[in-house]
Structure 1
C-alpha cells in the first residue's frame, strides 16, 4: 500500500470519527466505524485513542499518526447515521476511498437541518404531552407546550449568538420559570410544578447522559466521566434558572 493511500485512510477515519463524536455518537460506535473503514481499506491494525475533545489515529510500522481536535458537541443523529451509511457503501464497494473522503468532507453542509419553526413545534410537542404523561394534568397541556416552545426558542437563539455552554440553558430555564409562575398567577395555568417539569424537557441532556453510561460500560474511563460532568452541569444550569425564579418571586 502506498504512502498516499495510508494518509487518505487515516484522514478518512479521522473525519468520520470527528463527525460522529461531535454529533452525539457514543465512543464505541465511532471507534467501530473507524476500524471498519480501515479494515475495508486493507489496514487491519489501526490504533485509535478517542476522547470527547480529540482523536489520535496511527498505523503501526508506519510514520503516520495524526490528531483531529473536536471543538464542539451537539446532537444531530442524522449525521451519525449518514456516516454509517457511507461506511456501509464503502464496504460494499459502491464508492471508493476518495469519494468516501469527499462525501465526508461535505457532510456538515450537505446534511439538511430541521428549520427553526419545525424545532419549535417539536419542542412544544415534547413539552405538553410529556407533562400530561408525567402528572396526568390535561388542563395545563397547552400552556406547557407554549412555555416549552418559548423556552427552547430562547435557548436556540442564545446558543447561536453567544455559543457558550450552560448560559443558554440557564437563561432558558429562567424564562420558563418566569412564564410558568405568571401563567398560574394570571389564571391561564393551574400547577406551576407541572408546567415547569414539562417545559424543561427539551433542554434535558438525555443523550449525553445515556452516552456517558454506555461509554462507561464500554471501558472509556476518560470520555464517560467527561460526558457525565458536562450533562450534569447542563442539568445544574437548568436547576439554577428555576431556583432563581422561586427564590426571588
Structure 2
C-alpha cells in the first residue's frame, strides 16, 4: 500500500509540476491534480501551490504522504496542458490506471512549431495590425520585416536560455530600430504605425490574463507573482523601445 501511495503521489506531483511550468491556470492545476489522485485510488488529495513550487498530500486509508516539487517556468505550451487533461479523463473513465498514466505522462514532450512558420505568422500578424490601423502596403511590408526579424532575435536569445527580461528588452530594441527606418526614410503614409505595430508580439497577454484569473479565483500569491512578471516583461519591452528611439532620435509616436 505504501508503494502504491508513493507512486500516486509522484504521478499527481509530476502532473501538477508540468501544468504549472507550462502556463496552466492555477485553478486548473489544482483541479487536475485532485481528479488524478482520486481516480488513482486516493481517498483525498490536498494541493498547495506557489509561484514556482507545489506541495501535494495524498490520503489513503488514513495514511498521509506529502511530496514537494519545484516548477520552474518552461514557457507557455498548451499541448502539454491538453495532453495531461486527456490522461486525467482517461483515468476517470477507467481506461488507464496510475501506472499506465505515469508512462503516458513521461512520454509527453513540449513540441514546438517550426521556427520559420512562427516567424512568418508573427510577421503577418503584426503587419496585419498595422494595416488595420490605417497603414498602407509600404507600412505593411516594413512592419513585417521588423517583427519577423525581431522574432528571429527572440528565438535565438531564448534558445541560449537568457533571462526573459533581457530577451524582451533586446528584441524590442532590434524591432524598433528596424521599424524606425520607416520614419527616417519617410516610407509609407504613417511611419509611426510600423513602430507601434511591430512590437505587439511582445505584449505578455497570457501571463497577465492568468494573473487576473488566479487572483479572482483565490490564488492571490500566484496571481500577484504572475502579474509582477508580466509587468516586468512590459517594462523590459518599454526599455528596449526607448533605447532604440534614443539611438535613432525618433520620438513621435510616444508624444
> TM-score, normalization: structure 1?
0.92
Please state whether the residue corresponding to 2:44 is helix, strand or coil. coil
The corresponding residue for 1:137 is 135
Q: CA deviation at 1:42?
A: 2.4
Larger mean CA deviation between 229-238 and 4-13 belongs to 4-13
The corresponding residue for 2:127 is 128
1-side partners of 2:188 and 2:161: how far apart? Answer: 32
Please state whether the residue corresponding to 1:21 is helix, strand or coil. helix
2-side partners of 1:228 and 1:8: how far apart? Answer: 34
> TM-score, normalization: structure 2?
0.90
Tell whether the 8 Å contact from 1:124 to 1:145 is kept in structure 2 after alignment: yes
Q: CA deviation at 1:62?
A: 2.8
The corresponding residue for 2:181 is 182
Alignment of 1:30-41 (within 5 A): 30-41=29-40
1:126–1:44 Cα change, 3 Å: farther
Tell whether the 8 Å contact from 1:15 to 1:105 is kept in structure 2 after alignment: no
Tell whether the 8 Å contact from 2:12 to 2:36 is kept in structure 1 after alignment: yes
Please state whether the residue corresponding to 2:75 is helix, strand or coil. coil
Check if 1:102 corresponds to 2:100. no
Q: CA deviation at 1:44?
A: 3.6
Tell whether the 8 Å contact from 1:53 to 1:69 is kept in structure 2 after alignment: yes
2-side partners of 1:181 and 1:169: how far apart? Answer: 18
2-side partners of 1:162 and 1:183: how far apart? Answer: 32
Deviations 1:98-117 (A, max 9, x none): 11111112212xx5321111
Alignment of 1:183-222 (within 5 A): 183-222=182-221
Structure 1 unmatched runs, 5+: none
After TM superposition, which residue ranges in structure 1, 4 or more long, deviate above 6 angstroms? Answer: none
The corresponding residue for 1:3 is 2
2-side partners of 1:204 and 1:45: how far apart? Answer: 40
The corresponding residue for 1:172 is 171
Larger mean CA deviation between 57-66 and 236-245 belongs to 57-66
Instruction: Give the aligned length.
Output: 245
The corresponding residue for 2:237 is 238
Q: CA deviation at 1:190?
A: 4.5
Q: CA deviation at 1:79?
A: 1.1
Please state whether the residue corresponding to 2:55 is helix, strand or coil. strand
The corresponding residue for 1:119 is 118
Structure 2 unmatched runs, 5+: 249-255
Check if 1:89 corresponds to 2:90. yes
2-side partners of 1:242 and 1:176: how far apart? Answer: 8
Please state whether the residue corresponding to 1:113 is helix, strand or coil. coil
Q: CA deviation at 1:196?
A: 2.4
2-side partners of 1:204 and 1:172: how far apart? Answer: 12
Deviations 1:141-160 (A, max 9, x none): 22212211111110111121
Please state whether the residue corresponding to 1:232 is helix, strand or coil. helix
Check if 1:68 corresponds to 2:66. no
